[in-house]
Structure 1
């Protein structure tokens, strides 16, 4: 069979395939790495030596470890004083990224050995492994720093290693660099000496760091470059924020102070001291993700750690706080205790996501983040998980190239939603006690999901795994259909799998979830009701008012009858529903219309009933749901599209004018975002007063008054300038991107450019990704806004197909950026014909590394096509009726 042949090939590459994973054989165990690296910024290479102390677990005549794009010069295998081999036979297996070292003498079980390798690596531009990051100095020259990104499987790109999360070892890092450069690693400095470098002929410094605790290779980090820093003494250990010299280091103050408070809070909450001697946080100019939790040396995108109150808005502050607290939570959940393999990624990311919301709520209660959670984290999870091409939270991972595709809304958002659900089920105090027991028992070790369930069961006395395994091991979630029985004062609730494509097959609807119903009535919330069967009847004290999934902490949608929805709309106006209830109800109604459970016209009428709403989060969801309808109808009849835009304008304008767009000293965090959102929604839907105000601000901004546009509405003003303007406005915004010293303003400008609709300006936007001035970390930013209009969607796809060869060279499939670009360039289409065109293009392409992104895009298109087929006439009729009503008024 083909499978057996594949297994034999893998075995020849030195891998163990007995556990259904392509993993390294366990014949030797790495205990300690002594790694020395010397980067050369002129050649953009580095010289390295690694000495790995090994314990021999089985009689061995070979050692297999991971390497990628390394030039290995020499290899020695030693056992005590004996050289086993000074020139062993090396064979490289490209598919599995392994080097097999074979030697004649045998290493005996129970003995100790050393593997020494000298090698050269590239300071690559892929934002992976040990790579180079560049920035512009104030004098126009280019600065370079060398930094790392090892997660998920790129430590092997930096040095030869046993690159799997369960293969923890201690590390002693030594960096050799020019004397004026800063050298950082996970640990603090043990010594600093000088040597005469043979490589450069100059006197250099040798910075040796103290030995680390046992840790996974993906958490290793080292940085060499010109860096400034600020520090605080408000925690028992030193905390510093570093940034390159082209950045205002003072803008790291917010993150610095937050880190000190957060580390102290986490130590108390987890009853576990942060075990490293310091915490450094570094702004990196080229960074593929948002941040990386390297133990004791967290790296960030510049925009996710540096924050200036004067030039950035409230939403940016919240994002920075969330990212900092997320990465610091990882220092325990992920770093101290690590999943044993990548199918347990959710243990890291789900918990860090939940913990960032939990701690943010305690630090900044006025931000009301648990309200935002309902429209942000929960909706992100439910949206992706309603596609057939989603995956379970515990997703089987077999190969290295599959790992990057699971850093998505399932591992992060659905994972955190499961933890929120279980914390509510057990009670927060008991949940946290379980977390403390988990961390104590498994410190410096590796775990599986069952270990977390065992700790929570131990703390609560409940069988947690029997409830939660169903949620983590299966893809998808249910829709709960509610019908009412007046005579018996009861409701019937029935669960079925929900798919956005509305084509669930019987074999896809076999899983029965334990659904926490959270029944809200006038008497309060009954958290004890659980639906574990296909359907069941429950008594309700008063059928006049009830609602399931109180505060929307459950992972499901609820489908009510039109009559009940109307009653719930009235209950919302009467103040009987919480903010989370109101926002979640709108989200469910919109999603269920898209999935064929309700008519879209009914949702539009429901949205109209919320025009008296007073809360930001509800308005945010209302505008998002309307936006989802507009996106599905983007290629439809212009009259219908105009009617949807008019509907949005009529809905939001009065509220936008009432709130205004002047930002006052007394405006709290939520109010600032509320004003900004309403201003943008009104203006982008054609409100003339708002558009004039935006034009006036933009005119002043164009003449040099950079304070004319408040940061909370910068994106909206830029968007209106591009939608209703032309080349002149485009050039001002492009110039802002090129010359602004503020990374947030740069990003906003770049993100806005795609809103320009003229063929000439679309073409100009599409030259930016490969034009040399946009960093590779940001190539998706100018592309995303092109999806806001039909012309842009078509041109985006054409750009992708025309440049496919260059894209695949620039963004290797094993990294995540190619999948992001494929998704942006394909997912906004709405017809089967468009999907056929996309599938024809990829028929003869190798989709390894982004096949999941492509499948999810395809599912999203199918879902919109089916939605339009069902409700195209329904929305058209609604539009004409709406116009008639307006004319009569």
Structure 2
């Protein structure tokens, strides 16, 4: 568009040439020693990406706001980049078509660690004459805002302009911005590929831009790379020219480099993208090979059928035989998503790339989706669990192509719109494709519990979280955003019905495509499709911290029950001021007379503090279950008789796996919080001796491990007794089931075997330990033989190091470093690394910690090793903590700018302590450290430590008495004990409610 006539008069005065004093100096020359940057959780979270942020003190982080002014907004970027892989220097130019929305004398945009060499402002019509140019003296950098401000000599009126910027930066030393990732080239030599990671705010590290999700624009890209490389971006390659380029997009600003021979280089031009956010732009360049297929998921043709979309999975050439499963999964998933969303895949191609070094498990860049290698390398030797996670992560990232990329949250306070929904649909579609995997059971055991645990802390945050400052953006990529968000979507979709829910989602996508949206926009679309008042139902769930506990007092003779909701805190001491929210709660009632089939469940809701309602099936019901299928996001505290009846029903296998998970996980949480005594749960465990459901044993094993880590430091006799209890429970099952599947085994046998052997080995069962060490020795000596099933690789490795001869430590390190000899899959190579962390020898522990800081271990894997070490043995975490304190700066330097990874490391190192002494010591140690990068995770970890410390203090005598009774000759569990303990639980819950009503402090001890 032509500029308005007014701007012509400013042709000689558009940009200032007077020096401007920069507030922080040239960003490219700033020291980075005190800068840390945020990044999966997730976890593997599959967990996804976050972004960089300079560390500032907590008070500064709260005070600043890094939103850009809206006086100028971009519509199109024409970018040229020339990264020199050897030197790390990047030269580049960008022409930005922009709209001046209101008169201004400055243009402020994001630029981090970038040197702006020249700026030219001109009319938007490229055929017109330039208005004027300027040098770098008119640029003011603001480091904590990560911005560059161009000072104009005169005010510009509203108009259309082109901003042409010539700049230099460096390839990032972290896994953010544009960086190098090591891989083996076609000749088997180590080489570097170029990779970008721009979420959440790292595009500003690669080129000057408006780096906020709502400021969408179109992108054209050209990049100069080695001639042997395959260059990829969001859009297809348009053309390729040999040698370097003089940056056609920026006439007058030649950026031709003299650092390389033109004959070894090429410049690749990519097609223009649709409107999208800067964090979704992506580049990969390396010696890559691929497998390809076609998905019928493109725009509809005249015949009503979808047009083809080319799909490829890229990886280093040596690994191309490992990604066929991932391609097949992609083709299946893409067509399912098109059918669910009712919108064709928006781009002409879809590429997936296996990246050796990636901060998160996957990143959803539009049309160029990146994954850690372990998520795409799936072979016959890959364990079932890793295969399951691979399918889930592929679905999760591909769903973002619509929900997040086509329609993007307006700001990071609505990040849960992207991640909560993608987590839900990732599990939903995986469960449809592979129902035998029971993915919702896994979600209930792990992910849902992670969300409930984090959200039961005072240091938690609401799903729609206020972003306080730069570092805060990165920290909301957590279990609340992903897993609480997923749980709420699941709860709402179940209440509305999947058909009505997806109809609302389709309306939402159609109404906001190529634009941004908010949580309220989704609620309005769902209200239109369902006729329900979704906004009112969900308001407290998304805007308030926490969730309720429903106390249930059941009169089975009368056939009625009294329900009361109060906020649940892990500390068990919720005050009246903290208990002011009344949630909309879907109850999903079932009983022995109705059964738990969805068609028979009573879908009642609770919208008041207290409610009285009939028992489903009346007085004939033998048991009652709330939150059937475990879909509601709350905990249930049952009355004494109700809990005893449910325990009996679990033993008789009358409840489905998901319902068993809900009962047991709630009971565990209530025990740790003080609403029940620990002996109540220990009695339940004894009554479950005959239970065959593997889910029961998985939760029991995890509880005993948690109890061991809590009691071990302070109570030597109890520590030994907990191990003995674990051996007595899991050892006989492990020995009976054996290590190899047998012809007569049913599916439950395989799952129970997969639970029993690792738990028995952890507890030191002699037969299991001896067999694992024997299998390990045979495998190490003869790697081509199949000595055990692939799902037991991690178990065999860890037991062999923890309980076997010292030489096994050197053996697993050998396996990690030379995995080809043992034909280890990517996940089993990681198992070898983690096994090194399971040694109980202090010299070997310290050796592993030093090894983690070498180039042999990727920074993205550091916290995984620390996690194995902290939980492997009750003494190891003390060695880890002392080493961490002495080597903190080395850890920070090794992680580079990845402060989210630093947050993971911190929470992993300290997270398994259980004494007030350690909480205070950790608090003091971090007092003078810059913690803005993990100022959410640190308080949460400290709160968890204090919760466990209070648990031990409160129940140490109760546990001691339980073990004394159990050790008496002929002692067996008795129902009266369970009922007595459950009665105490109900009394506790009701006392809390009464104290809340009376305005008194509710301390349930």
Contact 1:192–1:206, Cα closer than 8 Å, also in 2: yes
1:738, CA displacement in angstroms? 1.0
Gap change, CA 1:814 and 1:83, over 3 Å in 2? farther
Contact 2:62–2:468, Cα closer than 8 Å, also in 1: no
Residue 182 of structure 2 is matched in structure 1 by 134
Q: 1:161-204: per-residue Cα shift (whole Å, max 9, x none)?
A: 10000000000111111211110000001111223564313222
2:173 to 117, 121, 125: 125
- Distance in 1 (CA, whole Å) between partners of 2:239 and 2:750 is 49
- Distance in 2 (CA, whole Å) between partners of 1:145 and 1:138 is 13
- Distance in 2 (CA, whole Å) between partners of 1:792 and 1:323 is 32
1:529, CA displacement in angstroms? 1.8
1:814, CA displacement in angstroms? 6.5
1:296 maps to 2:373: no
Gap change, CA 1:734 and 1:423, over 3 Å in 2? same
1:722, CA displacement in angstroms? 1.5
1:537 maps to 2:537: no
1:119, CA displacement in angstroms? 1.5
Residue 70 of structure 2 is matched in structure 1 by 26
- Distance in 2 (CA, whole Å) between partners of 1:454 and 1:418 is 16
Gap change, CA 1:753 and 1:822, over 3 Å in 2? same
1:887, CA displacement in angstroms? 8.4
- Distance in 1 (CA, whole Å) between partners of 2:713 and 2:494 is 43
1:249, CA displacement in angstroms? 1.1
Residue 518 of structure 1 is matched in structure 2 by 588
1:806 maps to 2:898: no
- Distance in 1 (CA, whole Å) between partners of 2:726 and 2:423 is 32
1:719 to 788, 798, 819: 798
1:281 maps to 2:352: yes
1:526, CA displacement in angstroms? 4.0
- What's the secondary structure of 2:624's corresponding residue? coil
- What's the secondary structure of 1:120's corresponding residue? strand
1:428, CA displacement in angstroms? 0.8
Residue 71 of structure 1 is matched in structure 2 by 115
Q: Which stretch of the first structure deviates more once superposed, 71-80 or 382-391?
A: 71-80
Aligned ranges 1:443-482 → 2 under 5 Å: 443-482=513-552
Residue 704 of structure 1 is matched in structure 2 by 782
Aligned ranges 1:289-368 → 2 under 5 Å: 289-309=360-380, 311-368=381-438
Gap change, CA 1:135 and 1:671, over 3 Å in 2? farther
1:438, CA displacement in angstroms? 0.6
- Distance in 1 (CA, whole Å) between partners of 2:686 and 2:173 is 50
1:96 maps to 2:175: no
1:498, CA displacement in angstroms? 1.2
Gap change, CA 1:813 and 1:834, over 3 Å in 2? farther
Aligned ranges 1:110-509 → 2 under 5 Å: 111-136=159-184, 141-196=189-244, 198-199=257-258, 200-203=260-263, 204-235=265-296, 236-245=308-317, 247-309=318-380, 311-485=381-555, 488-509=558-579
Residue 156 of structure 2 is matched in structure 1 by 107
- What's the secondary structure of 2:463's corresponding residue? coil
Contact 1:68–1:157, Cα closer than 8 Å, also in 2: yes
- What's the secondary structure of 1:690's corresponding residue? helix
Contact 1:787–1:793, Cα closer than 8 Å, also in 2: yes
Gap change, CA 1:508 and 1:124, over 3 Å in 2? same
Contact 1:653–1:678, Cα closer than 8 Å, also in 2: yes
1:762 maps to 2:839: no
1:644 to 716, 722, 739: 722
- Distance in 1 (CA, whole Å) between partners of 2:893 and 2:149 is 27
Q: 1:503-549: per-residue Cα shift (whole Å, max 9, x none)?
A: 22221111111111111122245443222211121121235321111
1:818, CA displacement in angstroms? 0.8
Contact 2:198–2:282, Cα closer than 8 Å, also in 1: yes
1:771 to 854, 862, 887: 854
- Distance in 2 (CA, whole Å) between partners of 1:669 and 1:573 is 19
Contact 2:110–2:208, Cα closer than 8 Å, also in 1: yes
Contact 1:230–1:240, Cα closer than 8 Å, also in 2: yes
1:153, CA displacement in angstroms? 0.8
Q: Which stretch of the first structure deviates more once superposed, 656-665 or 159-168?
A: 656-665
1:45 maps to 2:93: no
1:605 to 675, 679, 683: 683
Q: 1:563-617: per-residue Cα shift (whole Å, max 9, x none)?
A: 3211111122334322111111111101110000101111111122223223333
Contact 2:186–2:287, Cα closer than 8 Å, also in 1: no
Contact 1:517–1:529, Cα closer than 8 Å, also in 2: yes
Contact 1:50–1:117, Cα closer than 8 Å, also in 2: yes
- What's the secondary structure of 2:689's corresponding residue? coil
Contact 2:740–2:788, Cα closer than 8 Å, also in 1: no
- Distance in 2 (CA, whole Å) between partners of 1:580 and 1:673 is 15
- What's the secondary structure of 1:677's corresponding residue? helix
Gap change, CA 1:338 and 1:24, over 3 Å in 2? same
Residue 747 of structure 1 is matched in structure 2 by 830
- Distance in 1 (CA, whole Å) between partners of 2:115 and 2:726 is 59
- Distance in 2 (CA, whole Å) between partners of 1:298 and 1:821 is 26
1:437, CA displacement in angstroms? 0.6
1:138, CA displacement in angstroms? 8.2
Residue 868 of structure 2 is matched in structure 1 by 785
TM-score by length of 1: 0.95
- Distance in 1 (CA, whole Å) between partners of 2:226 and 2:186 is 21
Residue 624 of structure 1 is matched in structure 2 by 702
Residue 42 of structure 2 is matched in structure 1 by none
Q: CA RMSD in A?
A: 2.2
Residue 995 of structure 2 is matched in structure 1 by none
TM-score by length of 2: 0.84
- What's the secondary structure of 1:816's corresponding residue? helix
- What's the secondary structure of 2:74's corresponding residue? strand
1:813, CA displacement in angstroms? 6.8
- Distance in 2 (CA, whole Å) between partners of 1:406 and 1:48 is 32
- Distance in 2 (CA, whole Å) between partners of 1:864 and 1:138 is 52
Contact 1:153–1:400, Cα closer than 8 Å, also in 2: no
1:594 to 672, 681, 685: 672
Structure 1: runs of 5+ lacking an equivalent:
1-8
- Distance in 1 (CA, whole Å) between partners of 2:601 and 2:827 is 45
Contact 1:750–1:781, Cα closer than 8 Å, also in 2: no
Residue 734 of structure 1 is matched in structure 2 by 813
Contact 2:68–2:210, Cα closer than 8 Å, also in 1: yes
Contact 1:372–1:617, Cα closer than 8 Å, also in 2: no
- What's the secondary structure of 1:755's corresponding residue? coil
1:835 to 919, 923, 928: 919
Contact 1:478–1:556, Cα closer than 8 Å, also in 2: yes
1:744, CA displacement in angstroms? 1.2
Contact 1:150–1:217, Cα closer than 8 Å, also in 2: yes
- Distance in 2 (CA, whole Å) between partners of 1:743 and 1:648 is 31
Q: 1:394-420: per-residue Cα shift (whole Å, max 9, x none)?
A: 111132221111111100000000000
Residue 3 of structure 1 is matched in structure 2 by none
Contact 1:361–1:367, Cα closer than 8 Å, also in 2: yes
- Distance in 2 (CA, whole Å) between partners of 1:33 and 1:669 is 55
1:254, CA displacement in angstroms? 0.8
Residue 5 of structure 1 is matched in structure 2 by none
- Distance in 2 (CA, whole Å) between partners of 1:620 and 1:342 is 36
Structure 2: runs of 5+ lacking an equivalent:
1-22, 28-60, 245-255, 297-307, 974-1005
